[in-house]
Amino acid sequence: MANSNEQVTGKPMNKIAMMALLMIGSFVIILMQTSLGTALPALMTAFNVDSATVQWLTTIFLMVNGIMVPVSAYMTTRIPTKYLYLSALAVYILGTFMAWTAPTSAFWVMMLARALQAMAAGIVMPLMQVVALTLFSENSRGKALGSIGLVIGMAPAIGPTLSGWILDGKHKFLGLTWGGDWRSIFGLVLPLAIIVFFLSIFYFKNVLETQKVSLDIRSLIESTVGFGFLLFGFAMVSNHGWGSFSYVITPIIVGVLVIAEFTRHQLHMEKPFLDVKVLMNKQFALTTTMVSLTFIAMLGVEMVLPTYMQTVRGLTALDSGLTLLPGALMMGLISPIAGSFYDKYGAKRLAIFGFALVTMATLPYYFLTAETPTIYITALYMVRMAGIAFTMMPLTSSAMGALPKEQNAQGTAVNNTARQIAASLGTAVLASVMQSVANDNMPANSLKAADPLAYGSKAITATLDGFHTSFFVAACFAFAAFVLAFFLHSGKVNQPEGKEK
């Protein structure tokens, strides 16, 4: 990422400063996606709500984030880059401040705050990729997107560990004492977001060409309703199961039907709200599918593994998060290297190698017991995250390289939308499989009174059976991606000139 002062769209700018501000701001924003997971019990007590209610703080984030990603293509095309990024930061700062100061008598304030944070996340994730694709030439694009992998992969992985550490007790930093309560989670990131906002006023530039595209209200409504219902249905699986007609089946069916109508409408528009025609490009469709499988394999296990360590091994939320932290750091180390390799060799060999690592490191989880050494679990997780680092951003680079430059914003929005849906679907599938198998194998309640020790032993075995099946399903997703990798284009994909015919 050399040559920091260059001309893009005819204006001088510091590319490294811009990307640094974009990555730091995006990291802070995306961090909030998973940071509340370990804080939910504390929030239940503070706001005097039950577990089903407090879970909405996670559900609303996933839903609003997923809804905003398709909208980002229109916003990126219509709003100048600098003002779009500053607006996203401002919305995030407002949401974080509201969460930090939320009165415990008003849970709706926290819900609104989380929705605002999710709106910002839905804008910055696609924007970060489009800006990187624009700022850097084809020869260094893999390295640039590899650096972005630091944000997209590490932020969700670090979130639970960071919040667990904050909740663990009081900490001293620069003479200040803070931590020990849920408000500190928001208070920690708020100053950093404000600093990035003010620095971006001076260093962030408009790098994307804008067009006076009118907003198609019908498309906006269909996109919001369709993706909103679909993501809501997936989010409700963990609480209500796949058999729930009201909370799961109906929302998913409505979501699919509305998205189908949304897709039909987009195909007949001269200037679509979300250009689904990019999926007619076989290379883009294949790599986007594989990126989606990558996210299922990554986020699904990120959700199931801490649950195993806390329910079966008895670890605290902080200790389970620390067990996974080396894997997140491994991904941060490998992502830029994988990006450089993509610039030289393309995505095919990296994807085959990466998915082989993910599959081989996931299968041993099928044999976990209540006594499996923690260091063994950590080592396997590090190998998994290394494999994901070798696949995620190289595949994203390959997907975007298959499209003409003018389709960057639309392609990024489609890629991110598919990834968001896959993450929600993968989490729902693995969680439901885990719970279903555990419930089916749980001993009869009568045994609890007759022989408590035998009941306890069989209950642990039943719970482990649920985790084993869930990990096996995750390995199957990784293996499916491994097979698909052999159909990738050999070598680096060169971006075509002009629009696709």
> Same structural domain for residues 266 and 313?
no
Q: Name the domain count of the chain.
A: 3
> Same structural domain for residues 161 and 237?
no
Amino acid 243: pLDDT? 81
> Same structural domain for residues 263 and 289?
no
> Same structural domain for residues 361 and 245?
no
> Same structural domain for residues 440 and 374?
yes
Residue 2 falls within a domain, yes or no? no
Q: Show Cβ contacts of residue 447 under 8 Å, excluding neighbours closer than 6 positions.
A: 454, 455, 458
Q: Look at residue 346 and give its three-state secondary structure.
A: strand
State the CATH number of the domain containing residue 22. 1.20.1250.20
Q: Which two tokens mark 245?
A: 């007609």
pTM score, two decimals? 0.79
Amino acid 441: pLDDT? 79
> Same structural domain for residues 190 and 262?
no
Residue 3 falls within a domain, yes or no? no
Amino acid 170: pLDDT? 64
Neighbour tally for 295: CB within 10 Å: 25
Q: Which two tokens mark 209?
A: 């060409």
Q: Look at residue 13 and give its three-state secondary structure.
A: strand
**How far apart, in whole angstroms, are the C-alpha atoms of residue 114 and residue 107?**
11
pLDDT in tens, the chain (501 residues): 444 444 444 555 677 888 888 889 989 988 887 787 777 778 888 899 877 788 788 888 888 888 888 888 888 888 888 999 999 999 999 999 999 999 988 999 999 999 999 999 989 888 888 888 787 776 666 777 777 777 777 777 788 778 777 877 666 655 566 666 788 889 888 999 999 999 999 888 888 777 777 778 888 899 889 988 888 888 787 677 778 888 889 999 999 999 999 999 988 888 888 888 888 888 888 988 988 888 887 777 777 787 788 778 887 767 877 888 888 888 888 888 888 888 888 888 999 999 999 999 999 998 988 888 989 999 999 999 899 989 888 888 888 878 887 777 788 888 888 887 887 777 778 877 887 788 787 877 777 677 777 777 787 888 888 888 888 988 998 999 999 999 887 766 666 655 443
Residue 501 falls within a domain, yes or no? no
> Same structural domain for residues 254 and 316?
no
> Same structural domain for residues 414 and 392?
yes
Q: Look at residue 5 and give its three-state secondary structure.
A: strand
> Same structural domain for residues 140 and 218?
no
Q: What is the DSSP letter of 402?
A: T
Residue 108 falls within a domain, yes or no? yes
> Same structural domain for residues 333 and 409?
yes
**How far apart, in whole angstroms, are the C-alpha atoms of residue 154 and residue 278?**
28
Residue 7 falls within a domain, yes or no? no
> Same structural domain for residues 48 and 148?
yes
Q: Look at residue 7 and give its three-state secondary structure.
A: strand
**How far apart, in whole angstroms, are the C-alpha atoms of residue 131 and residue 88?**
15
> Same structural domain for residues 329 and 342?
yes
Residue 1 falls within a domain, yes or no? no
**What range defines the domain where residue 82 resides?**
13-210
Residue 4 falls within a domain, yes or no? no
**How far apart, in whole angstroms, are the C-alpha atoms of residue 402 and residue 282?**
9
Amino acid 482: pLDDT? 93
Residue 178 falls within a domain, yes or no? yes
> What is the three-state SS of 28-97?
HHHHHHHHCHHHHHHHHHHHCCCHHHHCHHHHHHHHHHHHHHHHHHHHHHHCCHHHHHHHHHHHHHHHHH
> What is the three-state SS of 127-188?
HHHHHHHHHCCHHHHHHHHHHHHHHHHHHHHHHHHHHHHHHCCEEEECCEEEECCCHHHHHH
Q: Which of 460, 423, 59, 444 lies closest to 239, judged by CA?
A: 59
Query: Are the C-beta atoms of 436 and 468 separated by less than 8 Å?
Result: no
Amino acid 107: pLDDT? 92
Q: Which of 251, 205, 301 lies closest to 13, judged by CA?
A: 205
Query: Are the C-beta atoms of 4 and 14 separated by less than 8 Å?
Result: yes
* Residue 417 Rama label (left phi>0; alpha psi -120 to 50; beta): alpha
Amino acid 422: pLDDT? 82
**How far apart, in whole angstroms, are the C-alpha atoms of residue 321 and residue 303?**
11
Query: Are the C-beta atoms of 144 and 335 separated by less than 8 Å?
Result: no
